[in-house]
A and B are shown apart, each in its own frame.
Chain A
Amino acid sequence: MTACAASDYILSYQIEKQDFGGGAIQVMGTVVPTRFVGLVGVVLLLSASVLADDSRVYDEARVKAEFVERFCRFVDWPESAFASPDAPFVVAVLGKATVTPHLAEVARLRTVKGRRLEVRRLDRPDQVPTGHVVWISADAIDQLDAVLDRSHGNPILTVADTPGAAERGVLINLRRDGPYVRFDINLAEVQASGLRFSSKLLRLGTLVGPDVEGPR
């Protein structure tokens, strides 16, 4: 059996170390392994990647925005989640998130569930019920309990990218795993929300929460 791996991939958030001898590190993604490079390096490389005008070099925010869009493809909302057949599919962002422009770009190009995609910025947690997807930025994580109070038991897909967020009740929490972006799923909250997660999505996420026996 031969497993083939491509050198780069649009959605695989990967950094390849091609020439360690010269000390140069070519960045294919925007997240750099911290084992070799310090926080300063991360900042430097982040800015370097922004400067790099290469379509195959993606930043983490864009990858996360893509992930959000892809989650929608593998999750089904009850019909009751939409006010009318013409109602847009709303992705709400709480806090100052780098994903917002990328989400806006996705919204401009694509539809979800046959509906127009609308990206909204939330100022307060009580606005949470207006969104089908609610992104909780790292800087708004202190409002998490308030958000979850309103989203719990409702068909609202809460997404965060703060370690431990899933355990606290966020449905999907993105995290880095080496060169990849991985995600945790709080299965109990998913079941409570009334959303239907595709098995294909569940298969890929790390299940956390009270019903799961320890981390995978």
Chain B
Amino acid sequence: MTRNFFPHMSFRRAMMVALLVPMFVVVAVALWIMATLDADSMRRHLVDTAETTARVVGDYSSSDLAFGTRDESVGALALLGQDARVDAVALYDTHLELFSSWRRAEEPAVPIEAKLPGAVERAVTRSGDAAVEVWRPIAREGERLGTIYLRFATDDLSARRAAHLTTILLFGLLLVGLGFVFAAVAQRVVSRPILQLSSAALRIAESRDYSARVAPEGSRELRALTSSLNDMLSAIERHQRERDAAIAEVGRHAEMLEQRVHDRTGALEASNRELEAFSYSVSHDLRAPLRAIQGFGRLLLEEQGQHLDDEGRDFANRIVQAAERMDRLILDLLEYGRLGKKQPEIEDVDLDTAFEDARRQLADVLAERDTAVTVTSPLGHVRGHHATLVQAVSNLLSNAAKFVENGSKPVIQVRSRRDGGKVRLEVVDNGIGIAREHQDRVFQLFERLHDSSRFAGTGVGLAIVKRAIERMGGSVGLQSEPGHGSTFWIELPRA
């Protein structure tokens, strides 16, 4: 991973820093080296001057030492004071005692008398921070006459160093200033188009206005970059337009479809309603003549039975039975229609109670077929409508008791089990079973798998069960194999 050395810097500032820092370092180092060399050469020069001065003055003063002319000597030394660098000068005799001297300051840190460290055999130069000091023996034709001591102040050395430091600082400031100016110019020339491009890209990204274009400006590379950006924007814009059109098209289709579904549903519901109203009124209106047929049939058998022969009684019986079957069918249809019309009120229902009510309703039928019903209590509580549930359970029991082989006794098991938030009530019979391919049909209205002569029934019972349970928010189903009985189940939310 490349590390970004200027993580929080703008392009402009990073560029400036990259330009200025090396420049500043180079100039500072160069100036520093120059200053050091200059200070060095200046010190050497000062040392040379001090030594030469000591030699010349020592030579000049040799006769003073030789002939003891102290006043002349002092005057000569005092002339050196015109050189601002000269701090002090002194002559010592061969006994190492002060002969004459001159010094600039009234009170020297070290008395001039103590400036002679001892017999000086040859020239000694001591170059310190504060001063350059020279000791030099004075002789004439090999004969020692004394010693000269000369002290040069290095004030101007430090002054020079300060001047150099000031120069370095000024150059640095000048450089920074120039750098700023240069960076400003460079920004105008180089980075401004980049910044413009960058801000334009940012603006487009934020506003998502892909129809905008950036005017090409700046260097060749930048122009290429800008035109690439513009191409990209064009592509995005085109894609967006296509996508928007596609979405609109899809939306239009969906709307159309919805409208069509709505229309169809309305039509269906209307025809359904008409059909139900029709069947209800038909069923209702059919019952009156049916009751007449039934009633008068019975009367015929009871009142006039002795006048009829066996065949006549058989016919009358058939009329009555047919009328009863028809009434049964009509009642079932009415029940079925009522379930479709009215939403049952949902409440807590005790399945045990519902089961007992259903068994009581069917007591005659069950007893007639010698049916054995076992129940595994408790069956639990569900959310539902009591009467509707009783009707459904009753129909299931009736169904279970009905489809058995001739000669067999129906055996029915009723049990329940909890399945998550639901309760499943199962009615298990020992009947003839239903083949898998027919299982889907049993809950449909008027679907009969068998001839009604073999198993009596209207073909409405299980349809009523399905509609009733579904109206209460539940579901129905079965598992069965031919010859091994069937298990019908209903499932409702647990109370």
Contacts and interface: CB of A to CB of B under 8 A. Distances in A.
Interface in A1-50: 1-6, 9-13
A12 B72 contact: no
B67 A11 contact: yes
Contact of A180 (B68, B98, B140): B68
Contact of A112 (B68, B69, B97, B141): B141
Given A10-B94, A12-B68, A204-B69, A4 B140 contact: no
A8 to B, nearest CB: 8
A42 B482 CA distance: 177
Given A70-B67, A204-B72, 17 more contacts: A1-B102, A2-B103, A3-B74, A3-B78, A3-B100, A4-B90, A5-B100, A11-B66, A12-B68, A67-B67, A70-B66, A73-B66, A73-B143, A113-B141, A183-B67, A198-B63, A200-B59
Interface string B41-71: 0000000000000000001101111111110
Nearest to A3: B74
Nearest to B76: A203
A200 B141 CA distance: 14
Given A11-B68, A73-B141, A204-B69, A4 B63 contact: no
Interface string B84-113: 000000100111011111110010000011
Contact of B98 (A4, A10, A113): A4
25 contacts: A1-B78, A1-B81, A2-B102, A3-B78, A3-B101, A3-B102, A4-B74, A4-B90, A6-B97, A10-B68, A10-B93, A10-B94, A11-B66, A11-B68, A12-B68, A12-B70, A70-B66, A70-B140, A73-B140, A74-B66, A74-B140, A113-B141, A180-B68, A200-B59, A201-B63
Interface in B109-131: 112-113
A168 interface: no
A112 B141 CA distance: 8
A2 B60 CA distance: 20
A110 interface: yes
A65 to B, nearest CB: 13
Give the bracket for the number of chain A residues in contact with chain B: 20 to 34
Contacts of B67: 11, 67, 70, 183, 204
B63 A204 contact: yes
A110 B143 contact: yes
Contacts, number: 75
A interface majority secondary structure:
loop
A181 B69 CA distance: 9
Contacts of A13: 68
Interface of B: 59-60, 62-70, 72, 74, 78, 81, 90, 93-95, 97-103, 106, 112-113, 140-141, 143
Contacts of B97: 6, 9
Contacts of B69: 180, 204
Contacts of B81: 1
Contacts of B103: 1-2
Nearest to A56: B95
Contacts of A12: 68, 70
A3 B78 CA distance: 8
Contacts of A181: 68
Contacts of A5: 70, 100
Nearest to A112: B141
A181 B68 CA distance: 9
B140 A203 contact: no
A42 to B, nearest CB: 21
Contacts of B100: 3-5
Contacts of A4: 74, 90, 98, 100-101, 112-113
Q: Which of B90, B99, B112 has the most CB of A within 10 A?
A: B99
A6 B99 contact: yes
Nearest to A8: B97
Contacts of B59: 200
